[in-house]
């Protein structure tokens, strides 16, 4: 039995789907069963628990062999990342008590760094806290999500435009589909190992914003141009999107980290993996609403 924390999300769902397709038993840890009913219909067991409540989470993890763990992302965290620290503390307590033989975590490219990460600091916190547990841990440091281009579909289709915070526009960075992350997580949960592992995962090749604009042009059969969003406009735009003024800095720092080249894979002490899903494949699914 493998427990999935985050089964209703893209990565958790992809992990559950891959496990079920492999004939494995899956237990979804959820706060609301009604939002995960399709997984029950697909053959998964659902257990109510809250990632901020160590006691309920411990019960949810009771008797499982492995667990897939992802911390809900905070895109406008309070200073010091108190939300992530509280959740990781509860997860650590629950895993230490439930004692699954293995745990696979969604982490991020760059999580090995101590500074300059912005939002990815949340993955650094996760690795630091969980890595000292007496459990066989595997941290999947995933590249920039190809699925993030979902926010560009409407503008590309209707205006022939794709605004990008990644700059310069022709600079390719590691990207990966959430489907490939889930596939690797499921495969890893079915393996046996001891100690801590780091798995660095990117797609078949690296992509730039210009590559994405070209792919949109091909798939939508119209000319789509990529345009850089000036950095001096970022803070105002994030505030317009609803982020509190004092919670914007981590997002800007993360984007600066990618644009400067600071945020990249460690390589030296990690296993390297490449996914199967290309940029074209991923954008086609987003355009079709799949």
Burial code (b: 16+ CB inside 10 Å, e: under 16) for 260-285 equals eeebebeeeebeebebebbbebbbeb
| Residue written as token pair 């495969």 | 187
- Long-range contacts at 7-10 (CB < 8 A, ≥ 24 apart): 7/36, 7/39, 7/44, 8/35, 8/36, 8/39, 9/70, 10/147, 10/178, 10/182
Contacts of 82 (CB under 8 A, 6+ apart): none
Which tokens go with 31?
A: 């706060």
Partners of 46 in the β-ladder: 28
Question: Would you write out the chain's pLDDT as a tens digit for each of its 290 residues?
Answer: 999 999 999 999 999 999 999 999 999 999 999 999 999 999 999 999 999 999 999 999 999 999 999 998 899 999 999 999 999 999 999 999 999 999 999 999 999 999 999 999 999 999 999 999 999 999 999 999 999 999 999 999 999 999 999 999 999 999 999 999 999 999 999 999 999 999 999 999 999 999 999 999 999 999 999 999 999 999 999 999 999 999 999 999 999 999 999 999 987 889 999 999 999 999 999 999 87
Cis peptide before 118 (omega within 30 of 0): no
3-state secondary structure of 7: coil
Task: Compute the distance between CA of residue 267 and CA of residue 199 in angstroms, rounded to an integer.
Answer: 9
CATH fold of 2-288, please? Rossmann fold (3.40.50)
């Amino acid at each position: 039995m493998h427990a999935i924390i985050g089964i209703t999300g893209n990565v958790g769902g992809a992990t559950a789907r891959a496990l079920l397709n492999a004939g494995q038993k899956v237990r979804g840890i959820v706060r609301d069963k009604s939002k995960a009913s399709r997984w029950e219909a697909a053959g998964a067991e659902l257990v109510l628990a809250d990632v901020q409540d160590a006691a309920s989470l411990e019960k949810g993890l009771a008797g499982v062999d492995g667990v897939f763990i992802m911390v809900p992302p905070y895109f406008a965290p309070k200073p010091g990342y108190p939300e992530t620290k509280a959740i990781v503390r509860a997860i650590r307590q629950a895993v230490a008590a439930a004692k699954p033989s293995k745990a696979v975590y969604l982490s991020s490219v760059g999580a090995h760094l101590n500074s300059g990460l912005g939002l990815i600091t949340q993955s650094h916190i996760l690795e630091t806290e969980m890595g000292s547990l007496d459990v066989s841990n595997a941290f999947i440091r995933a590249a920039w999500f190809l699925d993030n281009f979902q926010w560009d579909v409407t503008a590309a289709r209707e205006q022939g435009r794709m605004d990008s915070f990644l700059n310069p526009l022709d600079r390719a960075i590691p990207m990966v589909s959430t489907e490939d992350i889930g596939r690797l997580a499921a495969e890893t949960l079915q393996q046996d190992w001891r100690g801590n592992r780091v798995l660095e995962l990117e797609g078949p090749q690296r992509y730039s914003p210009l590559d994405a604009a070209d792919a949109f042009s091909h798939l939508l059969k119209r000319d789509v141009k990529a345009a850089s969003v000036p950095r001096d406009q970022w803070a105002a735009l994030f505030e317009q999107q609803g982020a509190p003024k004092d919670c914007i800095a981590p997002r800007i720092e993360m984007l600066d980290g990618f644009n400067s080249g600071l945020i990249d894979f460690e390589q030296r002490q990690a296993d390297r993996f490449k996914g199967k899903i290309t940029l074209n494949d991923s954008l086609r699914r987003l355009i079709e609403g799949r």
